[in-house]
Structure 1
Amino acid sequence: MPRTDPRESVHKRAPTMDGVPNVTRADAVAAVRNPLAFIAARWTPHPRTVQRAALAPIVMSVIIVVTGGAVRLTGSGLGCPTWPKCTDDSLTTTSEMGFHGIIEFGNRMLTYVLCAAVGWAIIAARSQKPYRRSLTLLGWAQFWVVMSNAVLGGIVVLVGLNPYTVAAHFVATTALLTLATLMWQRTREGDTAPRPLVGKSVQQLVWVMVVVSALLVVVGTVVTGAGPHAGDSSDVPRMPVDWEMISKAHAVLAWIVVTLTFALWFVLKAVDAPKGPLARTRDLFLVLLAQGAIGYVQYFTDLPEVLVGLHMFGSCLVWIAVLRVLLALRERPEETVPGLPSQEYDATSVSMAGPR
Structure 2
Amino acid sequence: MDPVRTPFSLLAERWQPSAAMVRRAAFAALVMSVVIVVTGGAVRLTASGLGCTTWPRCTGESLTPTPEMGFHGVVEFTNRMLTYVLSAAVGWAILAARCHRRPSAEGSATPWRRSLTKLGWAQFWLVMSNAVIGGITVLTGLNPYTVAVHLISAMALVWVALLMWERAKEGDGPAQPSVARPIVQLSYVLVTVVGLLVAAGSLVTGAGHHPGTPRDNKIVPRIPIDYDRLAQAHADLAFASVGLAVAVIFVFAAVKAPPGARARAKELLAVLLLQGVLGFVQYFTDVPELLVGLHMLGAALTWIAVLRVPLALRVRTDGAPTAFRPADERQPAAA
Instruction: Name the TM-score, length of structure 2 as normaliser.
Output: 0.89
Q: Would the aligned equivalents of 2:258 and 2:312 in 1 still touch at CA under 8 Å?
A: no
Could you say which residue in structure 2 is the equivalent of 1:180? 161
Q: Deviation of residue 333 (structure 1)? A: 2.0
Q: Would the aligned equivalents of 2:203 and 2:223 in 1 still touch at CA under 8 Å?
A: yes
Identify which of 211, 214, 226 aligns with 2:207: 226
5 Å matches for 1:276-355? Answer: 276-335=260-319
Could you tell me which runs of 5 or more consecutive residues in structure 2 were left unpaired when the two chains were aligned: 102-109, 321-335
1:76 aligns with 2:48: yes
* SS state at 2:14 partner: coil
CA distance in 2, matches of 1:193, 1:108: 39
1:93 aligns with 2:65: yes
Could you say which residue in structure 1 is the equivalent of 2:221? 237
CA distance in 2, matches of 1:173, 1:217: 12
Q: Deviations over 1:280-318 (max 9, x none)?
A: 111111111110110000011110000000000000000
Could you tell me which runs of 5 or more consecutive residues in structure 1 were left unpaired when the two chains were aligned: 1-32, 337-356
5 Å matches for 1:136-285? Answer: 136-233=117-214, 234-235=217-218, 236-285=220-269
5 Å matches for 1:30-49? Answer: 34-49=6-21
Which has more radius of gyration?
A: 1
Q: Deviations over 1:99-118 (max 9, x none)?
A: 00110000000000000011
Q: Would the aligned equivalents of 2:258 and 2:313 in 1 still touch at CA under 8 Å?
A: no
Count of residue pairs the alignment pairs up: 305
Identify which of 87, 94, 97 aligns with 1:122: 94
CA distance in 2, matches of 1:251, 1:328: 28
Runs of 4+ with >4 A deviation: none
CA distance in 2, matches of 1:238, 1:184: 37
Q: Deviation of residue 38 (structure 1)? A: 1.5
Q: Deviation of residue 40 (structure 1)? A: 1.0
CA distance in 1, matches of 2:287, 2:40: 17
Give the AA of the match of 1:136. Answer: T
Q: Deviation of residue 225 (structure 1)? A: 0.2
Q: Deviation of residue 159 (structure 1)? A: 0.6
Q: Deviation of residue 37 (structure 1)? A: 1.4
1:113 aligns with 2:97: no
Q: Deviations over 1:100-138 (max 9, x none)?
A: 011000000000000001100000000011311111111
Could you say which residue in structure 2 is the equivalent of 1:14? none
Give the AA of the match of 1:108. Answer: R
Could you say which residue in structure 2 is the equivalent of 1:342? none
CA distance in 2, matches of 1:106, 1:37: 35
Identify which of 113, 128, 135 aligns with 1:132: 113
Q: Deviations over 1:35-69 (max 9, x none)?
A: 22121111111100000101111111111111111
- Aligned identity (percent) is 60
* SS state at 1:41 partner: helix
Instruction: Name the TM-score, length of structure 1 as normaliser.
Output: 0.84
Could you say which residue in structure 1 is the equivalent of 2:107? none
CA distance in 1, matches of 2:319, 2:292: 45
Could you say which residue in structure 2 is the equivalent of 1:62? 34
